[in-house]
Structure 1
């Protein structure tokens, strides 16, 4: 529902009006996102949610589950099994994408000042860096072999990376 701020404005108490609107927005956001209020018990609550395999994309149901769990109960983190690729697939991914991984780890990732922005920066980096990497790789392979081999290599690398990300 929309928030009608005109009715919340008090010319004699501007700061109070601002705080009132901020509080209303905060309350509304807590219903639209998964919200764990108890920061001291955050690890226990999120561990239980992960163990229950809740759908974090459905915050209404997830918030209902949060109300039913015991925040003092500690749960060992669920260790994610290596996916389809395993250790060998991880090594192949690292070798095939080494220039970009090096650039990411040594240059881009250290520039993130807030952990909340890590996903955004990673997305932007991949959106810009991978097309350039694919174009350079295609050019080098096409010059050394031919365009069909270059195109095949790029398609293979794209599909491998896509499958790797989807299964791990």
Structure 2
């Protein structure tokens, strides 16, 4: 959570095992809810309850603004969580925001065989296939190219 910028550096989570279990449970709940709504279905009532309870676990940090290239833009939040449960609450709050936004229709599952990451497709054509080009896209393209090259090498000559 520290690496994601949700938890203040140097904070040791008392009850780390419980926080890890809660984090995993929240991850699975968010995944089920996001995939359901992205597929035009309602999330399970238990998932909605868990998201609401988790999101209420900490007050939402105040949004800040900045001027970038002559425009007002969000500059992040005024504070980050000081414990693991507050960090999980921030994740739940983001999930609730996504579920209620129009962007939920742009959530896709990575097309790579060995990956199942979810991502919001913000490409202009809305046809993104992989979670990222460096992680899955380029390796998939390389494998396809190598497979085509092997097939053409084995093809009988005319």
**More helix by percentage:** 1
Judge same fold: TM > 0.5, yes or no.
no
Return the structure number with greater relative CO, CA threshold 8 A, min gap 6. 2
Pick the TM interval, shorter chain. under 0.3
Q: Flag the structure with larger Rg.
A: 1
**More strand by percentage:** 2
